[in-house]
Structure 1
Amino acid sequence: MKIIIDRSAFLKPMAHIQSVVERRSNIPILANVLLQAKTGRLSMTATDMDMNLVNSTACIVNQPGSITVPALTLYDIIRKLQKGSKIKLNMDKDSVNLSISAGRSKFFLPTLQVDQFPTLPNDEITVNFMLSAANVKSLIDRTRFAISTEETRYYLNGMYLHAIQANNISVLRAVTTDGHRMALMEIPLPESKSDIPPVIVPRKAIIEIRKLIDESEGWIDLAFSKNKLRFDFVDTVITTKLIDGNFPDYERVIPSSNDKIMRLECRSLKKAVERVVTISTAKSRSIKLEINKGNLMLSAKNLDNAWASEDMNVDYDSEPIEIGFNARYLLEITDQFNDNAIMLFHMADRASPAIVTNEKNDGATYVIMPMRL
C-alpha cells in the first residue's frame, strides 16, 4: 500500500475512529484501525464488536492495499504533525511495519493481518428511511442527559426509539430514563412510516452519532435490522448492535392527573436555582419549591445550618404546594429549553412526579421525581 493524503483529510475521520476502538480489550486487533486504499479513496474502519464505524476520504493511491495498525498511536502521530502536511503511507509487500512520513518526520508502526479484523455480520434490512440531521440532533440533545449509567439495569443504558401515531401523523419518539427523571422527544417521520421496530440504542453509539452530526448537513439515512441500527452520513457509516432487553412501560410513569400548573420563564428559574443551590448539601443537592398564587419560593439548607432562599413571580392559581427536587436534575431539564422559553410545571402533590413541558409544545416532555423534604 502506497498513498499520499492531506493531514486535514486524515485527522478528522481518525478522531472519530480512535474514540470507537477498544482501549482495554484482551484482543489486540480491536485496538487497530483497518486501512483500505483503492481508487482514490482511503477507507478507515474501527470496531469494538458492538459498534462499527467506517469513514472514507479522498487521497492519492499509488498502490492499493489493506492493513491494520494501532489506531490511537496513528491518531496521535497525525495530530502532532504540522498543519498542511502531506502524509505518505508506505508498506511494501514483504514488510511487517507501516511507514508514515511527513516532511522530516518518519514513523514505523507494527501491523496485524487484515483477515484477523472482525466485522459485524450483515442482517437483512427491515426498515430504511431518511431523517434530517437537525431532527436527529434535536432528538438526541433533548433526551441523552437522562440515559442511565447504572450497568445493572442495562436496558436503561441507551435511548429507546419507537414509532407512534400522534394527532394522526407518524412520529419517532425517543425516551430515556434513569429512574429519577425521564426525557421524551418526538420528531415527525417521513411518508407516515409506522413500521419501525422498537429498539434501544446504546449510550456509546448515541455519543458517537451526535459527534458526527456536528460535521454533517442535510439528511441521514437510517436502516433498521433485527439486531442492529445503521446511520449513514455522507462519508461515514456507523452501525451499532442494539441493547437486547425490554424497555420499561414508561407511559405508566407519566401522570395523567397533574392539575396544578405553574407557568414561568426558564431563564429566571435556572438562575434562581443556581444561586440557591450554592447552600445545598453536596450529596443530596435538594431544593424546596414553595408555590403559592403568583409566587414561587426556592430554598435550600445544609447540615451546617446555612440556608438560602429566593422568591420569584410566577403564573400559578391553584392550591399551595410544597415539593422538593434534586437541583441538578432540575437544572438539566432547564438546559433543554431556550432561556426565554416559558416552562409549564404540571404537579399533583408533593409525593407525585412532576411533568415539565414547553408552553409552545415543541415535542419534548420531561418527568422528574420529587425528593422527600
Structure 2
Amino acid sequence: MRATIERATLLKSLSHVQSVVERRNTIPILSNVLIEASENGQIKLTATDLDLQIVETFAADVETAGATTVSAHTLFEIVRKLPEGSQVQLHAADSRMAVNAGRARFSLSTLPRDDFPIIAEGDLPTSFELPAASLIQIIDKTRFAISTEETRYYLNGIFLHVAEDDAPVLKAAATDGHRLARVTLPRPDGADGMPDVIIPRKCIGEIRKLLDEAGEANIQVDLSASKIRFTFDNAILTSKLIDGTFPDYSRVIPTGNDKLLRIDPKAFSQGVDRVATIATEKTRAVKMALDNDKITLSVTSPENGTATEEVPGEYKNDSFEIGFNARYLMEILGEVEGDLVELHLADGSAPTLIRENDKSSALYVLMPMRV
C-alpha cells in the first residue's frame, strides 16, 4: 500500500477513530486502526473495541492499493505533531509502515489486516432519518442523567423508544435513579414498530463528536433489537446495544404536583452555585425554602459554616422546604434554553417535575435530598 494524504484530512479522521480504541487492550490488534487504500482514490479507516465500530472514508492520492493495521494512538500522535499543511505519505510493506512528511520519517510495526475483527451487523430492519439538530437535542438534554453504576448496566445509556401520545412520537430517556431526563420528538418516518433500545454511553459520546461536524445534514439510523448504525456523510458508526430492560420510567413522572414555582433558570443556577461553594462533597445538598414570591437558598456545612441567598421567583402556594443535590439541579437548569423554568413541587419528600413549559420537548424529574 502506498498513498499520500493531506495532514488535515488524515488528522480529522484519525481523531474520530482513535477515540473508539481503548488505551489498554489484552488483544493487540484492537489497539490498531485498519487502513484500506483502494484504487479509486479512497482511504477507509476502521477502529473497534468489539462493541463499537467506526468506519471513516476520505479521498487521497493512492499509488498502490492495499491494507494494513497500525497503532491508532501512535499514528494519531505522529500526524498531530506534523507541520500544518504537510503531505503525509504512507507506505506499508513487510509488516512495517513508513510514515513520511517533509523531513520527518517514521517506521511503525503493523499487524495483518486479516486478523482485524469486524462487527457483523446482521439485519437492521428499522430505518429512519433524523436531522443532526434533533440528534444533538436528544443527546445533550439526556446524557448527563446516564448512570455510571456498572451494576445497573441497563441504565448506562439512553433509552430510545416510540410511543403513541396525542401523536406518534419518538422518546429518549436517561436516569440514574436520582434524576430523570426525557425528550419527546415527532416520530420520524420509518420508526414505526421499532424495538425499544438502550444506546450505550460510549456510543453516545462518539456520535456527539461526529454531530459537531454534521451541520444541517440528516443522519441515517438503522437498528435491530441488538445493534444500531448511524450513517454520516463520510463516517459510519455501528454499536451493540445494551442487552437489558429499561425500567418503566413513566411511573416516576409526577402528575399531581400542585405547587408551582416559576423562576429564571440562569439566576437560579448561579444562586445555587454560589451557596454550594461551602458545601462539602458529602453534603452537596442545597435547601430551598419557598414562601410567597420569596425563595431562600441555604447550605449548612459542619466544616465550613453556612451560606444563604434569596433569589427572585414567582410562587403563590403554601410555604415549605425541600433539599436538592446542587450539581444535579444545576445540570438540569443548564439545559433549559428559555428565560423561565417551571418547578412543579408536592412536598419535601416527593419528586419534583422540572420543565420550561407544558409545550417543551424536554422534561426532568429530580428526587429531593434530606436536609
TM-score category (smaller protein) = over 0.9
Structure 1: tracts of 5 or more residues without a match = none
Cα deviation 1:171-213 (Å, max 9, x = unaligned): 2111101111111111222237422211000000000000000
Cα deviation 1:216-273 (Å, max 9, x = unaligned): 1211000012310000000000000000001111111111211111111111101111
Q: Is the 8 A contact 1:281 1:301 kept in 2?
A: no
Secondary structure of the structure 2 residue equivalent to 1:282: coil
Q: What residue is the counterpart of 2:325 in the other structure?
A: 326
Q: What residue is the counterpart of 1:172 in the other structure?
A: 170
Secondary structure of the structure 2 residue equivalent to 1:36: strand
Q: Is the 8 A contact 2:91 2:97 kept in 1?
A: yes
Secondary structure of the structure 1 residue equivalent to 2:245: coil
Q: 1:355, CA displacement in angstroms?
A: 0.5
- Counterpart residue identity of residue 47, structure 1: T
Cα deviation 1:83-128 (Å, max 9, x = unaligned): 0010111123xx2201110111111111111110001112111110
Residue 40 of structure 2 corresponds to residue 42 of structure 1? no
Q: Is the 8 A contact 1:124 1:226 kept in 2?
A: no
Q: 1:312, CA displacement in angstroms?
A: 2.4
Q: What residue is the counterpart of 2:185 in the other structure?
A: 187
- Counterpart residue identity of residue 180, structure 2: M
Q: What residue is the counterpart of 1:59 in the other structure?
A: 60
Identity %, equivalent residues: 44
Q: What residue is the counterpart of 1:269 in the other structure?
A: 268
Instruction: Determine the C-alpha separation between the residues in 1 that align with 2:258 and 2:43.
Output: 59
Instruction: Indicate the RMSD between aligned Cα atoms, in angstroms.
Output: 1.2
Instruction: Determine the C-alpha separation between the residues in 2 that align with 1:124 and 1:263.
Output: 48
1:103-182 mapped onto 2 (5 Å cutoff): 103-168=102-167, 170-182=168-180
1:333-352 mapped onto 2 (5 Å cutoff): 333-338=332-337, 340-352=338-350
Q: Is the 8 A contact 1:89 1:100 kept in 2?
A: yes
Secondary structure of the structure 1 residue equivalent to 2:314: coil
CA distance 1:145–1:305, shift in 2 (3 Å): closer
- Counterpart residue identity of residue 10, structure 2: F
Secondary structure of the structure 2 residue equivalent to 1:136: helix
Secondary structure of the structure 2 residue equivalent to 1:174: strand
Instruction: Determine the C-alpha separation between the residues in 2 that align with 1:167 and 1:354.
Output: 24
- Counterpart residue identity of residue 312, structure 1: V
Q: Is the 8 A contact 2:128 2:190 kept in 1?
A: no
Instruction: Determine the C-alpha separation between the residues in 2 that align with 1:33 and 1:234.
Output: 20
Q: 1:292, CA displacement in angstroms?
A: 1.1
Instruction: Determine the C-alpha separation between the residues in 2 that align with 1:206 and 1:305.
Output: 39
Secondary structure of the structure 2 residue equivalent to 1:273: helix
Q: How many residues align?
A: 369
Instruction: Determine the C-alpha separation between the residues in 1 that align with 2:326 and 2:192.
Output: 38
Q: What residue is the counterpart of 1:282 in the other structure?
A: 281
Structure 2: tracts of 5 or more residues without a match = none
